[in-house]
Amino acid sequence: MSRPLLPSSVALHRPADLSTLVENRTVYSLNAFELNIFETHQQAHRVPLNLGALVLTTMLRGKKVMHLPGRPAFDYLPGESVVVGEQQTMEIDFPEANEASPTQCLAVAIPAETIRGTVDLLNERYPRVEEHTPWQLQHDQDYAHLHNTPELTGTLERIIRVSQETTAAKDVLANFTLQELLVRLMQTQARKLIFDNYAQHLTTHRFAHVVQYIKRNLAEPLPVEKLSELACMSKATFFRLFKREFGLTPVEYIIQERLKEAKRLLRHPLSTVAEVCYRTGFNNPAYFQKLFRKYEGLTPGLYKKQCLVG
């Protein structure tokens, strides 16, 4: 029941302005990338799409079912992104699209040389914490389908905004924004690798051990000093490399994990907001309420009530 992380809304076309009801396409061509915005106003099945480059797609409205080579079909919903490899054809179902509730999706086509240049720069100047896992943009089955992070969502919003600008410096800004997008995307994939699958990497990635410790001790104090010891780093180095690797600080990650656990506990019919606050390590009900509202858009009590009604 988390809020989907979406860029600011993109206006839909008026019906009279549509050239087709299925995957109507608006294109913004820049030197750095091509931004496509697709909208569909009627049901359709197995619609093929190949943009000839590596593509980051993000759902904005409605529901699709994606078919990618070599993997089972999956639902594709607002707040999610999919990385589609160069020259890879996606086939798309639109099971619920209609005039009252169309689907809308953006797709950023990224030149291969831009990806190589950004990856090489990162690996040379800002390497990842483990040498055996260099920066790379993955589009294989395990890392193609992602839930948007706040950082990735913010950069997508800037991609849309710069694409629609008319200033003389538009292409310069677009190049910088695309590099940021690639970094945010690789950090999002790094989170999926370690945050979601830490148990598989306990002997090969020092941050996997840190993540395990955090998840097992959410109700306890989690000082950065202790976490840096687990990573065999100084406090300053640990803080810097954790943020470089994942795009958020250790403290921000701890907050996210505590809120995730709080939501799980709040769904239990007999739990109370105060009990959940202390069981997830917040120790201050007012601070818990403030953070929950900031990240989830509603109070813990209202979240609990919605879960019980649902």
Q: Would you state the pLDDT for residue 221?
A: 95
DSSP 73: -
Residue 1 domain flag: no
C-beta neighbour count of 172 within 10 angstroms: 13
Q: How far is Cα 157 from Cα 155, in angstroms, rounded to an integer? A: 5
104: exposed, middle or buried (Cβ count in 10 Å: 0-12, 13-18, 19+):
buried
Tell me, yes or no, whether 89 and 215 share the same domain. Answer: no
Asked if 273 and 284 count as a contact pair (C-beta separation under 8 A), the reply is no
Q: Which residues in the chain show pLDDT less than 50?
A: 1
Quote the domain boundaries for residue 276: 198-310
Secondary structure class of 107 (helix, strand, coil): strand
Tell me, yes or no, whether 127 and 218 share the same domain. Answer: no
Q: Would you state the pLDDT for residue 1?
A: 47
Tell me, yes or no, whether 177 and 210 share the same domain. Answer: no
DSSP 166: -
Tell me, yes or no, whether 165 and 213 share the same domain. Answer: no
Q: How far is Cα 277 from Cα 255, in angstroms, rounded to an integer? A: 12
Tokens of 291: 């953070």
pTM: 0.91
In the chain, how many domains are there? 2
Residue 9 domain flag: no
Asked if 109 and 51 count as a contact pair (C-beta separation under 8 A), the reply is yes
- pLDDT digits over 251-290, tens only? 999 999 999 999 999 999 999 999 999 999 999 999 999 9
Tell me, yes or no, whether 171 and 249 share the same domain. Answer: no
Tell me, yes or no, whether 251 and 172 share the same domain. Answer: no
Q: How far is Cα 288 from Cα 277, in angstroms, rounded to an integer? A: 6
- Sign for the pseudo-dihedral over CA of 200, 56, 138, 172: negative
Tell me, yes or no, whether 30 and 163 share the same domain. Answer: yes
Tell me, yes or no, whether 123 and 145 share the same domain. Answer: yes
Residue 265 domain flag: yes
DSSP 17: G
Q: Would you state the pLDDT for residue 123?
A: 96
C-beta neighbour count of 31 within 10 angstroms: 13
Within 13 Å of residue 171, how many CA atoms lie on the same side as its CB? Answer: 5
Residue 20 domain flag: yes
Asked which of 141, 176, 194 is the last residue of a domain, the reply is 194
C-beta neighbour count of 5 within 10 angstroms: 19
